[in-house]
Amino acid sequence: GESVGLHLPTLSVQEGDNSIINCAYSNSASDYFIWYKQESGKGPQFIIDIRSNMDKRQGQRVTVLLNKTVKHLSLQIAATQPGDSAVYFCAENRAGTASKLTFGTGTRLQVTL
């Protein structure tokens, strides 16, 4: 069935290195994408979003890339810090679904010292 999924369930990165978290989506009609960070016992925290008319968007230490041709989304975190350790979710809004988000299953980012 249609889904938003992640290639890697766990990603281990050394402090100071860059992290790349990937996400594949299956619905070409999706027009809005969001990355969330979730720490243990907390709700998802908004990181960055991107609309389908864009290929790239940058925030503070984070960049989201959208490749509509292959329906792929990635989150890049520069100079990864221990505080970046969390589970990261991508989510999509499928056009015509009144802002309902469909979430992937998540990738755990572990930052090693």
Partner 1 sequence: GAGVSQSPSNKVTEKGKDVELRCDPISGHTALYWYRQSLGQGLEFLIYFQGNSAPDKSGLPSDRFSAERTGGSVSTLTIQRTQQEDSAVYLCASSLTGGTASNQPQHFGDGTRLSIL
Binding interface with partner 1 (CB under 8 A): 31-32, 34, 36, 41-46, 49, 51, 89, 91, 93, 95-106
State how far the Cα of 2 lies from the Cα of 17, in Å rounded to an integer. 33
Minimum distance, C-beta of residue 72 to partner 1, in the bound complex (Å): 18
CB of 75 to partner 1, least distance (A): 14
Q: Least distance in Å: CB of 5 to partner 1?
A: 9
Distance CA 35, CA 64 (A): 8
Position of tokens 């790349």? Answer: 20
Q: How far is the CB of 111 from partner 1 (least distance, A)?
A: 20
